[in-house]
Every structure is written in C-alpha cells, then in structure tokens.
Chains A and B, each alone.
Chain A
Amino acid sequence: MSKLQSSDKIPVTILTGFLGAGKTTLLNRILTEEHGLRIAVIENEFGEIGIDHDLVINADEEIFEMNNGCVCCTVRGDLIRILGKLRQRRDKFDHILIETTGLADPGPVIQTFFMDDDMKECFFVNGVVTLVDTKHALLHIDDCDEITAQIAFADRIILNKCDLVSTNEIDSLEAQVRSINALAIILRAVNTEIPIADVLAIGGFNLDHAMEVSPHFLEPKHHHHHHHDKTVTSVGIDEIGECDFQKLQQWLVAVTQKQGADIFRLKGVFATQGNENRLILQGVHMLIDAANGGAWGSRPRKNTLVFIGKNLDRQALIAGFRKCLVP
C-alpha cells in the first residue's frame, strides 16, 4: 500500500453560515457534481445531506478546552477523533470540507489544526468560507454577534440569495462586511451557483493575493451614519522596512496573550532582518502559525499585517509594531 509523502498535506476548507444560508444546497452540489475531486465532508449533526456517501461523516461539534491557561483556547474534540481516522486514509481523498453550524464560532475548528502535531503534519487550513443569506444578514448584521464572528473569521465570503435583494442593498451589505473584515474575498451568488473551485479555492487561500488586492482597506473607514460603530473591525498596518524577528515575536505574543479572546484572525507578511525570505504569520486568537513565504526577489521588502477583532486599538497596535522595526 503506497502512502502519500508526508509533505503532501491535505487542504481543509471550513464552511460556515447560518441554517438557511444555502450550505446544504452547496454541500449537495459538492458531493454530486463532476468536479474530479474526492472530497470528504464532515457535516454538523443537523446536517441533512441525504446522500449516502462513503465520504460523508457526521460530527457533533464538541468543544474541548485546552488546559493551557488560555480561556479562549478551545478545540473541536470530535474533529480530533474524526481527523485521526481520516489521517489514516490520506490517499483516499484530496480535500476535506468541514461544515459548522451558524451558531458556532469557527475559531475552535481552526485552532484544532494548529494545536495538534498529527494535524499539522497531515492537514493545512485552506481557509474559512462563510455563506451569507444576504436578505437575512441585512436584517440582523447589526445585532447578531454570530454573523459578525463568521464574517470576521472568513477568508472568503459568499453573499448568497442575491436574487432576493436589490443591488443597492447588496452594495450596502458588502460595505458593512468589508468594514468588519478587510481581507476576505467577497463573492456574490444566487442559489449558491458559484464554481466549486471558487468555494474550495483550489490553489489555496493565497495570503499575498488577499493582501495585495485590498491595500486601501487598511485605512480607517469613513463611517456611515445609519449604522452604529461596530465593535468588530479590521486594523491594517503597512510599513516599509525590516523587523527584528525577536521583537516582532515578543510583541505579537504579548498582544495575543492580552487580547487573544478578542482577536479573531491575524495575518501578516513580514521582512525580517537577516532573512531573505518572506515570513508569513497567521493567527487565530492566541495561536500563531509561521510559514516561509519564499524569496522577496525583486519585490520591495515591507511588512503588511491585518488584525480582525473586537476592541482593537489601532494607534496602539501601529505604535507597537513600529517598535519592532529595525531603525
């Protein structure tokens, strides 16, 4: 029996969104369409996929606490068991899709992949895709914390059911979504009719691409009058120069230790002194994962960092980061 090289990690896409946003329709499409991919789907316990499929697994969305002193460090206990089994059958599928319910914070799911050696060795988080019922979101985005969290965690947001609302309304919702999450790619759909490849983002959720596409979103927003200040915002930092790696590490650890519960995602590309490669950091709450982003080549050495979270003090974060720069 030949096994995959351990460097062939399996991408995992996390699909979130409220009941009624269109997840079941989307999952059914993923399982029945001829896209040439073998996708293992882990559906939540209320899943109604209704297809008897060898690669559909039912999960009960259990949160396990990590006894490491951080109250926001929780992982999906049920996933550890399920993924442990899937790990043994790596050559049977190309992608894993995990569906979470609308009420669940996708944080613990993401953290599950960062916390465990076995997970890190076999899987990588390709990204979080949030499916939004546009009509429902317009009514509830101001008062529903769960919608805001799902938007804040997303790498890709699909505004579904666009046929039920006007273009103005979609534009307005998109602007609100953008003010929460500066980095996500936002797509519009009717009846989740969107290419599967776009949902699974085959080829990865390219951090660079996301950072390059929307640099102007890193600037402070002009707040409209008709909605109150959101507590979930994106803070972007963009600085030419190089960081002292130790200082950067210490600063990020200090920030995430103090504000971990409020930081939903952080993503950054850094130029560090003595390193000819780009340093990519991605975080969820208190967990930060580092990756080698390849050589800078002819690109200017600079640092781009985005925090998405609650109660973020923009000035303090910028000032704190600037202290990490090599003078």
Chain B
Amino acid sequence: MKLLTTGLLDDWVEAFAWRKDSQALLLTPTQGNTLEYSLSSSTLPRTFPGYGMNNGAAVYGPNDEICQPCGDGAIRIFRSEQDPQKIAIGREWISAVRWSPNGRHFATTYRKSILIFDAKGNQVEEFAEHKSSICDFCWNPHSPYQIVAVGDGGAKMWRIGKKAPLGHFDWGGASIFVTWSPDGRWVVTGDLTPSVHLYDFTRNYPLHIQGYETKVRSLSFDSTSEKLATAGGVTVIVWDCTGKEGPEGSVPLQLEGHTKNCTVVRFSPSGVLATGGQDGRVLLFEFETSTSPKLFENCHSAVTCIEWSPDGKKLAVGTEDGKYRIYEK
C-alpha cells in the first residue's frame, strides 16, 4: 500500500465516510470544518463549516448527498447545487446520522428517542421509549427496516411501522457501542463495564463476554459475519461467530502488537483486519497467512479513525493530532 495523500483537519479526526464509488471521502474533525476529498479530481477539498461545539460524523446518502449532523442541534443535507436542507432536531449536538441499508430512510438519536426520516427528510417515526439517552444505534444490515439502539437498560430493537419494540435485551447495565453482523444474526454491544454482550437472533439467546482490560470501544464484523474483532485493551480479541453456539465456550484469537490500548478495529471487504491504537500504530492482520501483524504505519499520534473504501483498495487513517492519511493498494 502506498500513501496517496495526507493533510490536516481543524481538530482530532472524528470520522471518515467513503462514497460508494470509493472515489471520494468525507473527513470530519471533532470540531471545525468537515472536508470532502475527491480522489478522482484535483480540485481543492470542499469544506462544510462546523457548528457549535461538536461535529457529528458526516455521511453520504444513497444519491451521494452529504448529510452532516451538526453541533447546533440540526442535520444538514447537501444535495447538488442547492442550499442545504436543514432539519432542526433540538438544542444538543447531533452525534450521528445513519442511512438504512436500502437507502430509503436515515436515522438519528436525540436523548431517549430514535428519529427516523424518509429520504426527503420528512420524519416518519419516533421511537421514544428508551430508559436513558441513547449512546449508539445501528441498522440491521440484513433487514432494512430494523434498527437497534443502546444505552442504560441494554438494547432495544425496533422496526419501522411497528409501535412496540421487536425486542429488548436488558442485562442490567449500560452499553456504549453497538454493531449488527452483516448476516443479521448478531447484535453486539460494547459496555460501560469492560465486557461485551451478544444477542443471537437464530436462538434468541444472549451471551456475555467478560475479561477485557478496558471498556470495549470498537467492534467490527468481517463481511462474512464469521469473525468479530473487539478492541478493549492492548490485545485485540477476535471471536469466531460461526457454528450453532457462536463464540460461546470458545477461545478467541488474541492479537498482539499494540503497546497501548487499541481503539479502532476495521475489517476490509476482503477480510484484512486493520487496527489502530493509542500507541499511534496501525497494524494489519491478514488471517490467511498468520496472526502476526504487519506494522503498517507508526503515526506518532493516537489513532482515532480507520475506514476501508468499499472496493477494499484504499485505507483512510486519522489521528488525534488532526492528521489524515489515505493509502492505496
């Protein structure tokens, strides 16, 4: 992989989002201007000003419209050649906007509610029964109308069109992060106490995994839903989620290589695992060959963000010092 380009954002790199053709990238700093960087043209990056104290991660919609969750409590959608559509939600900053797998809806959360909008930006649902403010949410990649949100009181799953939740998984504590496996089988949460909870939909069965050194901050399934990588400490733990019982009772792969906490894990479309840590290192694990990492880069600043392009050929890495690096195979 060679370094294609590098640059500096206004602040710590919060998030990246690739356009579906892998030719452009949205780069969101924690505050300040969000950039759209185009790999195919040599024009300067397009800038989107930040609002208030914090930026939420900017994402692309199904027609490549740019959706920006803003620090002034609004969502702004930039369609071509027009002023942005502004959807005012509340007083507090909006942390995330996520599009459903079929592109018909997007969702955000505000306090204890999930808000769902159609592609034009009209609100179609409000699921307001969470016990606490929602910490994270995720669409079901396998079923476009289902969404899960987590906070204190565990996880609640909803379906657009149904008033009552589809499911509720309360294990007595709070969850901070959530992801859903590509095949729809598993909802996985990273919890406030150093642990991970999984819910297996094929058996309606919850699992609890303890033993992490610190809070699990990052979760990533590979595209086949076989492997789940988790970051909670110096060692990266990868669980085998195949088989009737999934990871239950199994010994996970423990990947060494970081000298400080790993904070980001991301599987590429072809199954290469990239990990980033507070040690500034980016490691690549290619499971076919071995479980030893390739030290990909030493960024000399804590890694905050890693995203593979949809075609799997490019890798974007962001660090605490605001620097972004884009690599290409």
Contacts and interface: CB of A to CB of B under 8 A. Distances in A.
B140 interface: no
B181 interface: no
A64 interface: yes
Contact of A64 (B10, B93, B174, B320): B174
B22 interface: no
Given A1-B322, A85-B30, A62 B133 contact: yes
B142 interface: no
A88 B11 contact: yes
A80 B53 contact: no
A58 B135 CA distance: 16
Given A58-B92, A60-B111, A66-B173, A89 B30 contact: yes
Contacts of B151: 64, 77
B11 A66 contact: no
A37 to B, nearest CB: 18
Nearest to A85: B54
Contacts of B132: 62, 64, 77-78
Interface string A1-31: 1110000000000000000000000000000
A60 B95 CA distance: 16
- Give the dominant DSSP class at B's interface: loop
A165 interface: no
Q: Interface size bucket, A side?
A: 20 to 34
Interface in A56-74: 57-58, 60, 62-68
A54 B53 contact: yes
Contact of B8 (A1, A57, A117, A118): A1
Contacts of A89: 11, 30-31, 53
B311 to A, nearest CB: 30
A192 B92 CA distance: 29
B111 A81 contact: no
B174 A3 contact: no
Contacts of B133: 60, 62, 77-78, 81
Nearest to A68: B193
Given A3-B321, A117-B214, A88 B12 contact: yes
Interface in A141-191: none
A65 B53 contact: no
B171 interface: yes
A81 B176 CA distance: 9
Nearest to B197: A67
B152 A62 contact: yes
Contacts of B135: 77, 81
Nearest to B12: A88
A142 B185 CA distance: 57
B249 interface: no
B52 interface: yes
Contacts of B20: none
A65 B152 contact: yes
A64 B152 contact: yes
B325 interface: no
Ranked nearest first, the 5 interchain pairs of A and B with the lowest CB-CB distance are A67-B173, A64-B174, A64-B152, A88-B30, A1-B322
Interface of B: 8, 10-12, 14, 30-31, 52-54, 91-93, 95, 111, 132-133, 135, 151-152, 171-174, 176, 191-193, 214-215, 261, 320-322
Given A67-B192, A88-B12, A88-B30, 16 more contacts: A2-B321, A54-B53, A62-B132, A62-B133, A64-B174, A65-B172, A65-B173, A66-B173, A75-B192, A77-B151, A77-B152, A77-B192, A81-B135, A85-B54, A88-B14, A116-B192
17 contacts: A1-B11, A54-B52, A54-B53, A58-B91, A60-B111, A62-B152, A64-B174, A67-B171, A67-B193, A75-B192, A77-B174, A80-B176, A88-B14, A89-B11, A89-B30, A89-B53, A117-B214
